[in-house]
Structure 1
Amino acid sequence: MDAAQQSAQVRDKAMRNTSVVGALVNIVLTVAKIIFGIIGQSHALIADGIHSLADVSTDVMVWFAAKYSNLPADKKHPYGHARIETAFTVALGIVLIITAVGIVLDSAQRLINPSTLLHPTPLVLWVAAFSIIANEWLYHYTMRVARKFKSSLLTANAWHHRSDAVSSIVVLIGVGGSLMGFPYLDALAALGVAFMIGKIGWDQSVSSVRELIDTGMEPKTAAALQRIIENVDGVRGVHMMRSRRMGGSYLVDVHIVVDGYLSVSEGHRIAEYVRLKLIDTHENISNALIHIDPEDDSLADLSAHLPLRREVLTDLAKVWVNDIDAFDINKATLHYLEGKVHVDLVLTCGLENTAELAERLEQNAAVLNYIGQVRVFKEKEGAA
């Protein structure tokens, strides 16, 4: 088992354990709030109990999402399964929005018909206080794990716990007001809880949908990454930078311009350096794809119409038939720059004047309108 698989297993276990703890606490809170809400005649506490029940459902979602989103990449999912977590987050947000709408409709009905308003008892205050403490603890516990494993789903769930704590504070205020002779405050508190639930659901759904449609990172972050790349030795330009979120991290691809006469290996070395630099610089970048360009092709690819190597060498063999043999032509290095094919030849050591030969070869190749500069180099004696 490699390090990536071990890391995924650890992440899976931590997320599932967190969801189990959250579910157990929220089951206790749901039962307590609904039962004591009925006994204590508090519509706000009952609504808060429904909120806790919604949190139980989200904990179950987290458990299933953790099980499947941390699976390793396969042939059908070459980028992994992280977006299963994102899809569950959208579903979680929708559940919360529906819950909020239901509470709003019920509270509005009670406000329109004062005879249906409940009259809370002091018992409700103790249940609300217990809920605040329990949910605030759950928030910090879940958020700690979310930050450690960079999980957007756990972050969303942590905020659900925090929203439940805040909603219990609203219940506390509303019930306190009702006990002081303002019966409408309990129903208004229920409305406040509903709006908080709805906002959390909306924010999480929108954020996750943006990820599913490949929304890129913030422009300021992208600009900062571009400056980092531009400062790498050997990079002459940066263009066509794109990013997309995958679970808790970003995938980045970018084109960098290097000297067109560099060797393939040196160009690859620069690209790999840039890739690792991006990953090391930004904790939320899991991987980067670096495309090497010998010139800026963001507006137009000037070499798109040029023939490939076999056709080029066949054409050159015809026009240079009286100057060099086919074996030497096959060792040519081709450079596709500025809409032309520039040719470098390394010939045997018997040559006396490489500059003169290069000039003659370039003149003879003029009939091929796609051939640019021709350079000839003398092979060192003893070279293999």
Structure 2
Amino acid sequence: MSDGSTTRMNLSAIGASASVALLLVLAKLWALGLTGSLSVAASLADSGLDLIVSLGGLVAIAYAARPPDEDHAFGHSSVEDLAALGQSLFILASAVAIAVAAVTRLLGDAPPALADEGAGMGVMALSVALTVALVAWQTRVARATGNRVVLADRLHYLGDLIPNVGAILSLWASAAFGLTQVDSVVALAAAAMLLTGAVRIWLGGWNALMDRAASPEMVAGIEEIAGSWPGVRGFHDLKTRTAGSRVFVNLHIELDGTQTLTEAHDIGAGLRHAILDRYPQADVIIHKDPV
């Protein structure tokens, strides 16, 4: 798959995410006005943050796809990590606000009654259906491209299914049994999920900006390829670092010093393409040393 096709697929996945988030924000605003439900408010905040995250992801993927230039010889993929740090702060603030509101209601003498639960349940059911469809498309794109932004967005929407289903259950409990406090409990659970997601996004962006190495599984995979590649007598100084959805790989391979330059080049080029075939998100530089 060419870089252009990969970028278009990634943008289509994040564009669909932004469109779904915008539709759900409007629908949940209407449902919140009808019901006054904190669990719907929590889900609305989550969708609002989804919209911010998706728009940030669109900008990040588009900017990261720009080719290297004189000022950015290794490309622009680190913008994805900067976007992740900002997004995590928005998520954290939302989680705190929802948790405070939920605790206030739980400690109050008389929790406010909910209204029009049926309309609220309909909106949340729509949210679940659209989220399932979006996750299906993002799964297909992520398998084809391996883009970390798409994978993270997909994981976030999978997590959204829990508070959405919880909001439906809390509205049902209110309508059927008058258990309005279930709404606040669901909102607290949603706030906890948002907080967990904020920490995860922050750590991912921070580690990448600090040039954290690739995962042990990826390093082991590269070692396996290099160690078994024809013509390679050995290798050393394997170094990796992450930047956005890219992983930069530097590797020294040991070759027969008596062979021609063309033969040595062909061995190195073949090894580089083998690594890229398994890890399309990689940027690989191979140094050749005589045994």
Structure 1 residue identity aligned to 2:148: S
How far 1:74 moved relative to its partner?
0.9
Give a deviation string over 1:324-359, Cα, whole Å, max 9, x none: xxxxxxxxxxxxxxxxxxxxxxxxxxxxxxxxxxxx
Normalised to the residue count of structure 2, the TM-score between the two structures is 0.87
Q: What SS is found at the alignment partner of 2:110?
A: helix
Give the stretch that moved more between structures: 182-191 or 229-238: 229-238
Find the aligned partners of 1:288 and 1:128 in 2 and give their Cα distance: 46
Q: Is the 1:117–1:187 Cα contact (8 Å) retained in structure 2?
A: no
Identical counterparts, % of pairs: 23
What is the 5 A alignment of 1:226-305?
Answer: 226-280=223-277, 282-295=278-291
Find the aligned partners of 1:225 and 1:290 in 2 and give their Cα distance: 12
Structure 2 residue identity aligned to 1:230: G
Equivalent residue, structure 1, for 2:145: 149
Structure 2 residue identity aligned to 1:66: I
Equivalent residue, structure 1, for 2:44: 49
Unaligned runs of 5+ in 2: none
Q: Is the 1:278–1:285 Cα contact (8 Å) retained in structure 2?
A: no
Q: 1:139 aligns with which of 135, 139, 146?
A: 135
How far 1:255 moved relative to its partner?
1.8
Give a deviation string over 1:205-244, Cα, whole Å, max 9, x none: 2223222222222224323322322223332322211112
**Compared CA separation, residues 286 and 223, structure 1 to 2 (3 A):** closer
Q: 2:180 aligns with which of 174, 178, 183?
A: 183
Equivalent residue, structure 2, for 1:372: none
Q: 1:223 aligns with which of 212, 220, 224?
A: 220
Q: What SS is found at the alignment partner of 2:128?
A: helix
How far 1:15 moved relative to its partner?
4.0
Q: What SS is found at the alignment partner of 1:119?
A: coil
How far 1:57 moved relative to its partner?
1.4
**Compared CA separation, residues 152 and 221, structure 1 to 2 (3 A):** closer
Q: How many residues align?
A: 289
How far 1:188 moved relative to its partner?
0.5
Q: Is the 2:205–2:244 Cα contact (8 Å) retained in structure 1?
A: no
Give a deviation string over 1:161-211, Cα, whole Å, max 9, x none: 333332110111222233324322100011111122222232222223222
Equivalent residue, structure 2, for 1:129: 125
**Compared CA separation, residues 285 and 31, structure 1 to 2 (3 A):** closer
Counterpart check, 1:103 vs 2:101: no
Counterpart check, 1:169 vs 2:165: yes
Find the aligned partners of 2:254 and 2:236 in 1 and give their Cα distance: 8
Q: Is the 1:171–1:186 Cα contact (8 Å) retained in structure 2?
A: yes
Structure 1 residue identity aligned to 2:87: L
Q: Is the 1:89–1:153 Cα contact (8 Å) retained in structure 2?
A: no
**Compared CA separation, residues 220 and 54, structure 1 to 2 (3 A):** closer
> Larger relative CO (CA 8 A, sep 6+): 1 or 2?
2
Q: What SS is found at the alignment partner of 1:255?
A: strand
Q: 2:84 aligns with which of 71, 85, 89?
A: 89
Question: As a proportion of its length, which structure holds more helix?
Answer: 2
Find the aligned partners of 1:268 and 1:11 in 2 and give their Cα distance: 28
Find the aligned partners of 1:145 and 1:219 in 2 and give their Cα distance: 24
Give a deviation string over 1:80-118, Cα, whole Å, max 9, x none: 212222322332233222211211111112112243444
Q: 2:197 aligns with which of 200, 210, 228?
A: 200
Bigger Cα Rg: 1
**Compared CA separation, residues 206 and 177, structure 1 to 2 (3 A):** same
Structure 1 residue identity aligned to 2:279: E
Q: Is the 1:163–1:197 Cα contact (8 Å) retained in structure 2?
A: no
Q: What SS is found at the alignment partner of 1:115?
A: coil
